[in-house]
Amino acid sequence: MTLDDYLDALRGKRIAVLGYGISNKPLVRLLLRHGMDVTVRDKRECVVDGAKTICGDDYLADLTEDVIFRTPGLMPHVPQLAAAIERGAILTSEMEAFFDVCPCKIIAVTGSDGKTTTSSILAAMLRAAGKTVHLGGNIGTPLLDIADAIAPTDFVVLELSSFQLITMRKSADIAVITNVSPNHLDIHGDYAEYVDAKRNVFAHQDSDDLVVLNARNEMTRGFADAAVGVVRWFNTDEERGAGLRDGELCFNGNAVMSAADILIPGAHNVENYLAAIAALAGIVPFECMREVAQTFGGVEHRNEFVRELRGVKYYNSSIDSSPSRTIAAVRSYGRKVILIAGGKDKGIAYDEIGLPIIEHVKTLVLTGATAQKIRDAVERCGAYNGTPQIIHEPRFEDAVSAAAAAAQGGDIVVLSPASTSFDRFANFEERGNYFKELVNGLT
């Protein structure tokens, strides 16, 4: 189906677009350009030329449109949506529509951690091999409105969240699942719903499609039994698949690159490269993969170097919204760090973070709603003997100042919150940018 075919099928229908955010703004412009009857509904006040708007707390009231495009964070089991579906409305999304019309191979990456970096590595490897790549989903730009400019020989790389995947009825040609652990349980009904959403990235594949799974993650190991397409493993100790052997990243027993070639720090980034190797072996030459490893400097807000002041290095890893991400971050530096953590509570346990903080953190500065949960996880750990020192600063600004005051020459200060940003910021990017602003203002 082409984009024009898809739009022709919408003619004469009343369309609701729920949420006027990053992905839905280009969608609304596309629909309006083609003369569609569009109502934009958003909790926030908005004005959209050419469209009707319903805004405020009751923005989902009287949801009678024929086709409903939901924003990713709005779950399909919300009562108003459930009632509209029962009535016969078609529930979809910008991303689901893109899957319907995309003319080229789609490589989709999901998981609890590592999605953005792995997606960026995949795109960089494909470009190094001379391919035309469109990077989208949670990163890059929305792609539906440019689908007619994508060639069949191009590649699309998508980072997909559980929120985007939960209602998916199509799967990627190449699906990569980095790992699965409890996450976003404040939004999903339960962990099973979250897992089922992740499974959708490969659940609708054909027999000649590919799914790449983490051999060391209990949940993803279990996905192999449900796979219809070809299964490739990464993080494997077997000869088949992508694994680390004697400091070399290998695929099917053949060396691809040395771990020392990888510019961005951390064992978790070795895993990200292994996942990319497993996904692109046979498409991208190994020498191109190695070239990317030696030159790719990472993604903003992910162990991002900010500055060095008086011998202290500051890193911004605001993307780290779960304990597992923060555990990977503090293990990355080869020495104990000063850690700034805490943010909004999304209903997950923090017990696992206690021992890694004790082992890899010299001073822990806590802020935000999860500060006490993180503190409890550290202090209740049997290995805790008063180290690291724990500082609690309710204000984010004071937390950054306290970390800087505790640092001495040779130290590393890392913002890795292990929590979402929504207690005081619009998103992790805003939190990370504010951290960088505060750090760059230190004298």
SS3 of 280-314 = HCCCCCHHHHHHHHHHCCCCCCCCEEEEEECCEEE
pLDDT of residue 185: 67
- The topology (CATH level 3) of 3-92 is Rossmann fold (3.40.50)
The rounded distance, in Å, linking the Cα atoms of 427 and 144 is 23
Q: Of 81-85, 112-116, 174-178, which range is least confident? A: 112-116
CA distance 424 to 439: 18
How large is the average pLDDT for residues 360-364?
Answer: 98
Using CA atoms, how far residue 302 sits from 144, 258, 295, 416, 434, in Å, is 27, 22, 16, 9, 15
Q: What is the tens place of the pLDDT at every residue in 279-338?
A: 999 999 999 999 999 989 888 898 888 999 999 999 999 999 999 889 989 998 889 999
Amino acid residing at 57: D
Assign a CATH topology to domain 96-295: UDP-N-acetylmuramoyl-L-alanine:D-glutamate ligase (3.40.1190)
- Asked if 152 contacts 103 with a C-beta cutoff of 8 angstroms, the reply is yes
Contact 324, 352 (CB under 8 A): yes
User: In this predicted structure, what is the pLDDT of residue 126?
Assistant: 98
* Cα–Cα distance for residue pair 118/225, rounded to 1 Å: 24
Q: What's the pLDDT at 140?
A: 77
Which residues share a beta bridge with 55?
42
Of residues 249 and 299, the one with the higher pLDDT is: 249
pLDDT in tens, 1-48: 999 999 999 999 999 999 998 889 999 999 999 999 999 999 999 999
Under 8 Å between Cβ of 139 and 119: yes
CA distance linking residue 177 with residue 199, whole number of Å: 9
Tell me the percentage of the chain whose pLDDT exceeds 70: 100
pLDDT of residue 125: 98
* DSSP conformational letter for 177: E
Q: Six-digit token pair at 441? A: 């203002």
Please name the amino acid found at residue 264: I
Average pLDDT over all residues of the chain: 95
Q: Angle of helix 24-33 relative to helix 94-101, nearest 10 degrees?
A: 60
d(Cα 398, Cα 401) in Å, to the nearest integer?
Answer: 5
Give the tokens for residue 390. Answer: 């724990």
Residue pair 181/322 in contact by the 8 Å Cβ criterion? yes
Q: What residues does each domain of the chain span?
A: 3-92, 96-295, 304-440
Please give the CATH topology (third level) of the domain spanning 304-440: Protein-Tyrosine Phosphatase; Chain A (3.90.190)
pLDDT tens, position by position, 156-212: 999 999 999 999 999 999 999 999 988 676 777 788 999 999 999 999 999 999 999
Pick 298 or 396 by higher pLDDT: 396
